[in-house]
């Protein structure tokens, strides 16, 4: 069996918006352990860079990501369980890094996403997708079960029956339907998803970095906290923020009827 080429990960190093591009057109930007680790590293490094205020993840050549590299999956079945476990651990670490990133992460999706590529998209904070893009939980078609948190993300957003349909039939769902469900934030004309996502990421990059990091943490905790715990978390957040430079600038700008400048706060 000839192994398929590995998708390359390009980190443009830009600020305030850092773009991470999946580039493997031969396999529609399929991703496996080396790509998982590269994406994880790129996201962690961007989140630790104070000059970076938003991250944009996109796929090259008109497609986001087809998910796991099937040739590598077949080869892994002939190896050791420990090696397969290391691969899924790498996928999980990538997803956790995206969710834990302190700055907003935006996915720009042309064409569609499947499998682990869909998990990566769903892990992002906001999604811009081209109309007609198709999303597939394709594991069942090759006798596998989902990973990468896809059942977690979909079950939080969609009815159980629809999640069951997607996972048991491997049937594609269109971007338009995910937009109706709130999973896709913005529908773009085909070919315009990246440009629209860049505009959205730039708008997020203008915001207060520390406050948005706290907001992300509060949203993440809301699903596991009861009301009392969430009230305490929100109270701690706003009481910490109100004495900081971002709130000082934001409040002054509001009262002066001008646009706030959070870049130096």
Edge-to-edge strands of the sheet including 173-174? 112-114, 134-136, 173-174
Which residue has tokens 């930007």?
29
Q: What pLDDT does 3 receive?
A: 57
Closest CA to 3 of 67, 66, 74, 59: 74
What average pLDDT score do residues 62-82 get?
87
What count of Cα atoms within 13 Å lies in the side-chain half-sphere of residue 120?
Answer: 34
Residue 158 structure tokens: 């969609």
Residue 210 pLDDT exceeds 60: yes
Look over the chain and give the mean of its residue pLDDT values, rounded to a whole number: 95
What average pLDDT score do residues 142-168 get?
97
Q: What is the DSSP letter of 224?
A: T
Which residue has tokens 């956790």?
96
Residue 221 pLDDT exceeds 80: yes
- pLDDT tens sequence across 169-209: 999 999 999 999 999 999 999 999 999 999 999 999 999 99
pLDDT band, residue 1 (cuts 50/70/90): very low
pLDDT band, residue 4 (cuts 50/70/90): low
Closest CA to 133 of 49, 192, 182: 192
Q: Which of 22-36, 63-77, 217-231 has the lowest mean pLDDT?
A: 63-77
Number of neighbours of residue 176 by Cβ within 10 angstroms: 14
What average pLDDT score do residues 48-56 get?
97
- pLDDT tens sequence across 86-111: 999 999 999 999 999 999 999 999 99
Domains of the chain: 8-205 (3.90.226.10), 209-255 (1.10.12)
What average pLDDT score do residues 46-53 get?
97
Residue 56 to residue 265: CA distance in whole angstroms: 22
Q: What pLDDT does 229 receive?
A: 98
Q: What pLDDT does 102 receive?
A: 98
Closest CA to 28 of 7, 3, 2, 53: 7
**% of the chain with per-residue pLDDT over 90:** 91
Residue 264 pLDDT exceeds 90: no
Contacts (Cβ under 8 Å, ≥6 apart) of 119: 67, 91, 95, 147, 148, 149, 150, 153
On whether the CB atoms of residues 20 and 49 are closer than 8 A, the answer is: no
Helix (H, G, I), strand (E, B), or coil: what is residue 147? coil
Length of the chain: 265
Give the Å distances, CA to CA, from 207 to 48, 104, 240.
Answer: 17, 10, 17
Residue 167 pLDDT exceeds 80: yes
């Amino acid at each position: 069996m000839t192994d398929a080429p590995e998708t390359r990960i390009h980190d443009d190093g830009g600020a305030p918006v850092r773009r991470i591009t999946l580039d493997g057109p031969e396999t529609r930007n399929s991703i496996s352990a080396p790509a998982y680790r590269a994406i994880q590293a790129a996201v962690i490094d961007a989140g630790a860079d104070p000059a970076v205020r938003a991250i944009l993840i996109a796929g090259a050549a008109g497609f986001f990501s087809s998910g796991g590299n099937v040739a590598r999956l077949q080869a892994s079945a002939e190896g050791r369980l420990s090696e397969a476990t290391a691969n899924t651990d790498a996928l999980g670490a990538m997803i956790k890094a995206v969710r834990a990133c302190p700055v907003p992460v935006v996915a720009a999706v042309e064409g569609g996403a499947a499998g682990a590529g869909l998990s990566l998209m769903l892990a992002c904070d906001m999604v811009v997708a081209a109309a007609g893009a198709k999303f597939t939980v394709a594991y069942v078609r090759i006798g596998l079960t989902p990973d990468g948190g896809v059942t977690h993300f979909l079950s939080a957003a969609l009815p159980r029956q629809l999640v069951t349909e997607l996972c048991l039939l491997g049937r594609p769902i269109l971007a338009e339907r995910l937009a109706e469900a709130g999973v896709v934030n913005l529908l773009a004309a085909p070919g315009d998803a990246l440009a629209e996502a860049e505009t959205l990421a730039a708008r997020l990059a203008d915001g207060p970095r520390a406050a948005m990091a706290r907001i992300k943490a509060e949203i993440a905790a809301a699903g596991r906290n009861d009301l009392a715990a969430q009230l305490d978390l929100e109270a701690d957040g706003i009481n910490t923020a109100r004495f900081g430079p971002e709130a000082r600038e934001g409040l002054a700008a509001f009262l002066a009827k001008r646009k706030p400048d959070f870049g130096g706060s």
